[in-house]
Structure 1
Amino acid sequence: MFFGKRNPLEKEEEQLVSTEIYSCSDDGCIGWMRKNFVSADLLCPMCGSSMDSGVRDLPKI
């Protein structure tokens, strides 16, 4: 019997979409989240600082 390596199947490229996000305003914190998942008080879940709106190219969900 012969067990050769198969060529890996080509993965489909992830589609990046411009997505509205909120990122932490504190310079020492790297927290951010999509607009769909942000809490009503607009506070960073990691440090508690306020969050600023912005846009990032993220994979489509």
Structure 2
Amino acid sequence: MEIPIFYGKRANDDKIETIMMDTEVYSCSSDNCNGWMRKDFATADLHCPICGHETVKEIRALPKI
């Protein structure tokens, strides 16, 4: 009796490509915090969601969502 063998590797053509885009973000101004948020998901008051400090506008290369 032969046992079928299946391999879980995808062909190279099926690789999912990550598209990077320049994205506007708001980054925490505190030196002790790494918090940031995309402009599309920013809070109305533009304070850091982690520590509450003010944020500054930046451009980062992030994956497209």
AA partner of residue 16 (structure 1): M
RMSD: 1.4
Q: Is residue 49 of structure 2 the alignment partner of residue 45 of structure 1?
A: yes
2:29 and 2:42 mapped to 1: Cα distance? 14
TM-score when scaled to structure 2?
A: 0.82
- Report deviation, 1:5: 2.7
AA partner of residue 15 (structure 2): K
| Unaligned stretches of 5+ residues in structure 2 | none
AA partner of residue 37 (structure 1): F
1:4 and 1:37 mapped to 2: Cα distance? 43
Number of matched residues?
A: 61
- For the residue of structure 2 that corresponds to 1:36, the secondary structure is helix
| Unaligned stretches of 5+ residues in structure 1 | none
- Report deviation, 1:2: 3.4
- For the residue of structure 1 that corresponds to 2:46, the secondary structure is coil
